[in-house]
Chains A and B, each alone.
Chain A
């Protein structure tokens, strides 16, 4: 158990819909990273928040957005969903703002878009 929690574990929805994925980092960790893992694209870095502020963006679509709240939990919002958005979404937390520090991954949210 990494100490990072993600909800929900599974999510099934339809094309065109909007969903919110939630991540609670380990106690004391200031950084939250979001990743998308799919069979064809592999593990893609989406976005990184540090202490409430966006620090870096990766391959995140404009239909996707995220935020980190004052209590340091984070939400990833996916809108206008397409079949290709079906994937496993991971968040990871880290005590510092740099990726050179170990990231602790949550168990993931499996999103299925029908």
Chain B
């Protein structure tokens, strides 16, 4: 079975400061990894995903994430945040041997402070 842990339910950060949203997962098989973003009153939107290859993945809106297999982590980073980044961020995994299943974390709410 797989599980996803997002260690912080809320992260406050000042505008133009860097941010890291943490995601750890547990799985006995290899997984695909995703970050989705949910802006207020909207559905989710894919930010980036890791399927294979380079462990540093770049996504939309200046976000990037690094896959660390030994630490089973997939942390999301942005060097300088904007007010428009205020949203909830979800980490998700999908096992490579089960091409039909996806598990989401509980989400991290990013608050941008002026």
Complex Cα distance A102/B46, Å? 7
Tell me whether chain B's interface is mostly helix, strand or loop, or mixed. Answer: loop
In the assembled complex, A95 has its CB within 8 A of some CB on chain B: no
Known: A2-B43, A42-B106, A102-B46. 12 other contacts (CB 8 A): A4-B43, A42-B107, A43-B90, A44-B104, A56-B100, A56-B101, A90-B44, A98-B94, A99-B32, A99-B102, A100-B32, A102-B49
What are 30 A-B pairs with beta-carbon distances under 8 A? A2-B43, A2-B45, A42-B106, A42-B107, A43-B44, A43-B90, A43-B104, A43-B106, A43-B107, A44-B104, A45-B102, A45-B103, A48-B100, A55-B100, A56-B100, A56-B101, A58-B101, A90-B44, A97-B100, A98-B99, A98-B100, A99-B94, A100-B32, A100-B49, A100-B51, A100-B94, A103-B46, A105-B43, A105-B45, A107-B42
